[in-house]
Amino acid sequence: MTDQELAIKIRGLKKTYDGEGATEPKEALKGIDLSIPKGSIFGLLGPNGAGKSTIINIIAGIVDKTNGNVEVWGFDINEDTRNAKANIGIVPQEINFDVYFTPFEILELYAGYYGIPKAERRSEEILEAMRLEEQRDAYTRFLSGGMKRRLLVGKAMVHSPPILVLDEPTAGVDVELRQHIWQYVRDLNEKGVTIVLTTHYLEEAEELCDEIAIINHGELVICDKTPNLLKQLDEKMVVIHPVSAIDEVPIEIREIGAKLNEEGAIVIHFSPSVITVGQILDKVAKTSIEIADLRTEESDLEDIFLQLTKSEKE
């Protein structure tokens, strides 16, 4: 992928938070490389404390990096800060607007910060998209949590950036609102906006993202297109205990990958989309093996996630 095709390019990104007083310095990012394609919905997935918000906050210019390079829409965030900021909208994890203004005033205020002339502002349109028309002139502090969150998204869009970054957009929101946010994200993406979102919900990443990067302990564990990651899900295992011990796997089932484990059981990893358990058992029936016990195991994204993010220390 060429640089022109990247919305965000991150190379060797490191961050160590200085320890204050008695606290130890914290190495939150240990050298992250990410290539986020233009037009994608890209998910940064990882458990709490993995370093997701640190990456987002560095991209947003809220946190200073310790080392490495970050380009937003081709602009280096340190050398060309203004252009980098103009091309990105950030929806932070925490609500960060003044609740004593009305939603309309907040959108106008931020459009002002970005130097958007009055005639080019989109406050009404954004309120409508966020389903906040009725709350246009209400005091924001009286809005529900869901409405505040929608306003947070709207606020990130006042300058029509080609990239929208959402940090845990659905953390702690109810199922209905989650669906609504997902739909809005999809709509924006269809209009050409590149979406980057962080989440610790596998389901959310699976549902929305074209590509997923899994982060753990400040390191990139895996990054791939969602279907490729899910292909790893298309893997099951069958374990067959024979009635009498065997010392060699019969040729009929060796060709489907059967192996003996240390307990003398036959283990076969297979993709259900390629071969069924029934077909495997048909093959086993053609051998002299008598089955004493049989069990199948399925791996899902949850397993892969746990496996990949398992800490050596834990």
Residues that bind ligand ADP (CB under 6 A): 17, 26, 28, 46, 48-54
CB of 15 to ligand ADP, least distance (A): 8
For ligand ADP, give the closer residue by CB, 53 or 102.
53
CB of 91 to ligand ADP, least distance (A): 14
Q: Looking up tokens 């209905």, which residue turns up?
A: 176
CA-CA distances (angstroms) from residue 172 to 154, 164, 199? 19, 20, 11
For ligand ADP, give the closer residue by CB, 52 or 236.
52
Asked if 149 and 172 touch (Cβ cutoff 8 Å), the reply is no
Partner in contact with 87, chosen from Mg ion, ligand ADP, none, beta carbon below 5 to 8 Å by kind: none
Residue 27: CB atoms within 10 Å? 15
For ligand ADP, give the closer residue by CB, 53 or 135.
53
Partner in contact with 49, chosen from ligand ADP, Mg ion, none, beta carbon below 5 to 8 Å by kind: ligand ADP
**Binders of Mg ion in range 38-57 (CB under 5 A):** 52-53
For Mg ion, give the closer residue by CB, 58 or 238.
58
For ligand ADP, give the closer residue by CB, 27 or 105.
27
CA-CA distances (angstroms) from residue 110 to 116, 151, 162, 165? 9, 12, 17, 17
Phi-psi region of 222 (alpha: psi -120 to 50; beta: other; left: phi over 0): beta
For Mg ion, give the closer residue by CB, 52 or 155.
52
CB of 219 to ligand ADP, least distance (A): 12
Partner in contact with 123, chosen from Mg ion, ligand ADP, none, beta carbon below 5 to 8 Å by kind: none
* 216 is an interface residue for Mg ion by CB under 5 A: no
Alpha carbon 33 to chain centroid, angstroms? 15
CB of 200 to ligand ADP, least distance (A): 7
Angle at 71 between CA 86 and CA 8, to 5 degrees: 85
**Tokens standing for 99?**
């609740």
How far apart CA 117 and CA 216 sit, in angstroms, is: 43
CB of 46 to ligand ADP, least distance (A): 5
Residue count, binding to Mg ion (CB under 5 A) = 2
CB of 25 to ligand ADP, least distance (A): 8
CB of 32 to ligand ADP, least distance (A): 11
Q: Which residue in the shown chain puts its C-beta closest to Mg ion?
A: 53
**SS3 labels along 245-287:** CCCCCCHHHHCCCCEECCCCCEEEEECCCCCCHHHHHHHHHCC
Closest-CA residue to 193 (of 86, 57, 38): 38
How far apart CA 102 and CA 298 sit, in angstroms, is: 51
Residues at the site binding Mg ion, with contacts judged by CB under 5 A: 52-53
